[in-house]
Chains A and B, each alone.
Chain A
């Protein structure tokens, strides 16, 4: 199927023609006796003869052939360069899944990303975003060089100048004795690069280190609420035989996506059941053995109602509950009072008999597990919901049992050398964090008249897009005088920053990539540079080290590595040898061999349920679609291409609504969606898979940066939903918002 032989030479054909009547006259004259009067007719005849002559000559055939060869080799259709095929192993860090990848290269040119066989997370499988990873590498919208904001435009700046500028600003803050006014937002707190950012903050004198809401952060919060600080939670989905999922999009990108896909697919052979509780017939719900539609935002109440049934019928694991601390009796009493079957049925919209049956099935299952984290698990959640669902696990005693929930300490495979603190650092670091979550941080900055934060680092995070009420978040960001973005793309947050230090993409850099997000094993993989950096970018670790060195003093002393490579090797020294040789290290696998304490005090206090804001009749909820990412960058062109026309049509976003609720609305018609925060023009998809009264809108669209393939499509749902902070946890717990939908 390769293109035919390339013929490069063009054939030029010169067709001689009789140029004038006079000339011909002469020629004929020359023939003497053949002389005849040349009239119009014989001229015509001669012309026709010439045409006929050319027609029968090979010239025409040659031209015909050449022109078709030309069409087979149009110079504007690229011809990929051939070369030696070779494969390199690495780890994908586009999402928390941390899958092993195998990159096919032609000489030094990566051409295809595939899942890496025998990698302990994904064993050969890959998700569409990872496979399309090369489109991020070659994205023409990447930031090509450090940028500095001047007015509302960005100017190119050298790395030296950019680092010097940042150091100068930070030194100013430190000189004023307010080092705690430097904050940092990243995607996660695991891994050496996040470690370097945190180290920079601490040695500088600030505890204002935040991560974006993520499943991992919810897992750690839930674990610390029940089992003490420093723990996290994992779900043994591949061994569980009854999965009760509270909206967890197990095949929509929840957790470590490929591992979840595999665990889910193996249900068929294992005869394991999946019950999916959520207002919408998601792919997970469709793939489940049973879909239980629930009123949006009442998942916590349902979980507590299920707990009540289990307790009432003595279906709990007595050997487990005997060690419960923090007021188990009080909890029990609260359930009896507030979560009777009829009350739960009323709140959740699920039949009492159904609730009872489900609770009994769950409790009687051999290896049950209840899973929280709606959608991809990184959206807004309340601690009440996380705790209520986890309480089901505690009640049936599946903690640290095969097919249950693994409670284990947060992996500490990194060992940073002790850091050097000076007086300023100690004082600053000793101060309380402004907020317990990034949401709370923004809320406080927004409400404060004083500048709470003077400088902000943003790495692998896009709060200006991903947090609820993103317009307000952007305004809040504007209140921070100096912001530095460590980003590969000019995303919504980077656009607001003063300095952009562009990163190598994951294809261009070395980094430790720990697994997480509820995956039962703990695996650290090594992401490797598959290709030399294409642009004038740096490893974010190197950027941090350079800033630290430029700051001098105790900060520089804490960053004595020559570069990130050296730093990585030293901080992972415990595992470096197997990590660099095999590409990954399994830190822990199998069932943790200890029995953690269970503290139910949080739930025993009966925390309030957070309800959707507003007075409209319908509820707008976010949809997580596997084919669209929501990590702050836009999805790749390939991924967007796969998205159904019932999600994106042209530049419009399509919302789902049940026909019973779609009064006055036409399928494929336009409508105006209104929430207390604003309006959006949307297309309608009338969908029987949607609970009546609910509008579903996909997350991950509506990016505003400059990329014609993936950006400026639809709206960002976070513009339409406002945050509601849960007291105590500080979490943004607003799952959805009240809305109305009127035909446009």
Chain B
């Protein structure tokens, strides 16, 4: 974090159109390839398979032929924490400051060489976005030649997760600096690997604080805390947009978009009758 741009800090975020997402898996592989994610012989146990970007399959629970499917890609949600103060569920619990909140970017980082593998952050994360290196990462002989120097391969015994391709942010920042406008990274200069790979253009990435960015225009984040839950900040004023488990107050920077009500409803838990009251209520009316 640099002091000089603290006042106009970025808040990088993402909105994923679940009506466009086809569950094709391009984002997952692009992420793995970009970030030197290892693979092992059996990856069918999804509870020990490192996938920074994981695509969940949702169903509406109805029987044939009324059953429906939607796919939900889940990167790290880069939570701002309660009140969006930077105390993400994981950051606030890490005993060794191995995961940190970037107040200048809104990105939750992971310092691999500092993490000592206590896994408290994994317990604290309700999105299961964090993965532990149960094994040494191993590539078949010769395959380590494709590893990218932008991201360190992780050693056994530590936690890793999506970084919003932080190295791409660094590259974009360097570029902006080079062009003499170090505080203004261009929207197209910083895009994550999953965003650029998506063949359906379902993912939109950018600065949630910047009204010129598409992500801001789709999400229309509410700058005021939710009057019904003061922990929640940045709720979308687009009625088709939701966040995962928003009520917990984690304040994710990953938003989801869907025209389908049953999909939106699966974003959070609702007591009986609650959904009908909540579903059309989005954000405060002030601040157009």
List chain A positions with a Cβ less than 8 A from chain B. 1-4, 71-72, 74, 76-83, 104, 106, 109-115, 122, 124-129, 131-132, 134-135, 137-140, 251, 257-258, 261-262, 264-265, 268, 281, 283-284, 286-287, 291, 293, 534, 626-627, 636-646, 648-651, 658-660, 688-692, 708-709
A76 to B32, CA, bound (A): 20
Task: List, in ascending order, chain A residues with CB within 8 A of B3's CB.
Answer: none
B155 on interface, CB distance cutoff 8 Å: yes
Is A688 a contact partner of B64 (Cβ separation < 8 A)?
yes
Is A112 a contact partner of B33 (Cβ separation < 8 A)?
yes
A644 to B54, CA, bound (A): 10
Is A109 a contact partner of B152 (Cβ separation < 8 A)?
no
Task: List, in ascending order, chain B residues with CB within 8 A of A115's CB.
Answer: 196-197, 199
Contacts A1-B110, A79-B153, A688-B63 known; A140 to B143 CB distance under 8 Å? yes
| Chain B nearest CB, measured from A492 CB (Å) | 21
Is B24 a contact partner of A251 (Cβ separation < 8 A)?
yes
Is B39 a contact partner of A641 (Cβ separation < 8 A)?
yes
Name the CB-closest residue of B to A644.
Answer: B57
Q: What per-residue 1/0 map shows which CB atoms of B136-165 lie under 8 Å from chain A?
A: 110111111111110111111100000100
Contacts A72-B155, A638-B32 known; A283 to B26 CB distance under 8 Å? no
Q: Select which of A124, A261, A644 is within 8 A of B22 by beta carbon.
A: A261
Contacts A112-B33, A138-B143, A265-B200 known; A131 to B26 CB distance under 8 Å? yes
| Chain B nearest CB, measured from A82 CB (Å) | 4
B30 on interface, CB distance cutoff 8 Å: yes
Name the CB-closest residue of A to B112.
Answer: A1
Name the CB-closest residue of A to B109.
Answer: A1
A76 to B141, CA, bound (A): 12
Task: Known pairs A78-B147, A125-B198; list 16 more (Cβ under 8 Å).
Answer: A77-B156, A78-B139, A80-B153, A112-B33, A125-B201, A126-B30, A128-B29, A265-B200, A268-B20, A293-B65, A626-B22, A626-B23, A639-B25, A644-B46, A651-B42, A688-B59
| Chain A nearest CB, measured from B94 CB (Å) | 15
A1 to B36, CA, bound (A): 13
| Chain A nearest CB, measured from B143 CB (Å) | 4
Could you pull out 12 A-B pairs where Cβ atoms are within 8 angstroms?
A: A1-B110, A72-B155, A83-B149, A109-B145, A131-B29, A135-B146, A138-B145, A265-B199, A534-B142, A650-B42, A689-B69, A709-B39
Considering the complex of A and B, which 3 residue pairs feature the smallest CB-CB distances, nearest first? A125-B199, A261-B199, A286-B69
A649 to B46, CA, bound (A): 10
Name the CB-closest residue of A to B136.
Answer: A76
Give B149-196 interface residues, CB cut-off 8 Å to A: 149, 151-157, 163, 166-167, 193, 196
Task: List, in ascending order, chain A residues with CB within 8 A of B22's CB.
Answer: 251, 261, 264-265, 283-284, 287, 626
Name the CB-closest residue of B to A77.
Answer: B155
B277 on interface, CB distance cutoff 8 Å: no
B246 on interface, CB distance cutoff 8 Å: no
B124 on interface, CB distance cutoff 8 Å: no
B7 on interface, CB distance cutoff 8 Å: no
Q: Select which of A1, A626, A637, A639 is within 8 A of B111 by beta carbon.
A: A1
Task: List, in ascending order, chain A residues with CB within 8 A of B155's CB.
Answer: 71-72, 74, 77
Is A642 a contact partner of B51 (Cβ separation < 8 A)?
yes
A409 to B199, CA, bound (A): 29
A251 to B199, CA, bound (A): 10
| Chain A nearest CB, measured from B284 CB (Å) | 28
| Chain A nearest CB, measured from B101 CB (Å) | 14
Is A648 a contact partner of B44 (Cβ separation < 8 A)?
yes
Task: List, in ascending order, chain B residues with CB within 8 A of A81's CB.
Answer: 149
Q: Select which of B24, B156, B167 is within 8 A of A128 by beta carbon.
A: B24
B122 on interface, CB distance cutoff 8 Å: no
Q: Give the secondary structure class of B's interface.
A: loop
A122 to B146, CA, bound (A): 24
Is A128 a contact partner of B113 (Cβ separation < 8 A)?
no
Name the CB-closest residue of A to B163.
Answer: A1
Is A265 a contact partner of B29 (Cβ separation < 8 A)?
no
Is A293 a contact partner of B43 (Cβ separation < 8 A)?
no
A636 to B28, CA, bound (A): 13
| Chain B nearest CB, measured from A135 CB (Å) | 7
A691 to B66, CA, bound (A): 11
Is A82 a contact partner of B65 (Cβ separation < 8 A)?
no
A691 to B65, CA, bound (A): 8
B62 on interface, CB distance cutoff 8 Å: yes
Name the CB-closest residue of A to B36.
Answer: A80
A675 to B56, CA, bound (A): 33
Q: Select which of B33, B62, B145, B198 is within 8 A of A113 by beta carbon.
A: B33
Q: What per-residue 1/0 map shows which CB atoms of B78-89 lie under 8 Å from chain A?
A: 000000000000
B45 on interface, CB distance cutoff 8 Å: yes
Task: List, in ascending order, chain B residues with CB within 8 A of A646's CB.
Answer: 57
B4 on interface, CB distance cutoff 8 Å: no
Q: What per-residue 1/0 map shows which CB atoms of B197-209 lie under 8 Å from chain A?
A: 1111110000000
Task: List, in ascending order, chain B residues with CB within 8 A of A124's CB.
Answer: 196
A3 to B155, CA, bound (A): 10
B70 on interface, CB distance cutoff 8 Å: yes
B226 on interface, CB distance cutoff 8 Å: no
Is B151 a contact partner of A1 (Cβ separation < 8 A)?
yes
B19 on interface, CB distance cutoff 8 Å: yes
A137 to B142, CA, bound (A): 10
B34 on interface, CB distance cutoff 8 Å: yes
Is B199 a contact partner of A126 (Cβ separation < 8 A)?
yes
Name the CB-closest residue of A to B259.
Answer: A268
Q: What per-residue 1/0 map shows which CB atoms of B215-227 lie under 8 Å from chain A?
A: 0000000000000
Is A286 a contact partner of B202 (Cβ separation < 8 A)?
no
A135 to B197, CA, bound (A): 17
Name the CB-closest residue of B to A110.
Answer: B146
Q: Select which of A140, A265, A645, A708 is within 8 A of B44 by beta carbon.
A: A645
B285 on interface, CB distance cutoff 8 Å: no
Is B199 a contact partner of A2 (Cβ separation < 8 A)?
no
B67 on interface, CB distance cutoff 8 Å: yes
Q: Select which of B39, B157, B201 is within 8 A of A637 by beta carbon.
A: B39
A86 to B64, CA, bound (A): 51
Task: List, in ascending order, chain B residues with CB within 8 A of A658's CB.
Answer: 64
A648 to B200, CA, bound (A): 25
B68 on interface, CB distance cutoff 8 Å: yes
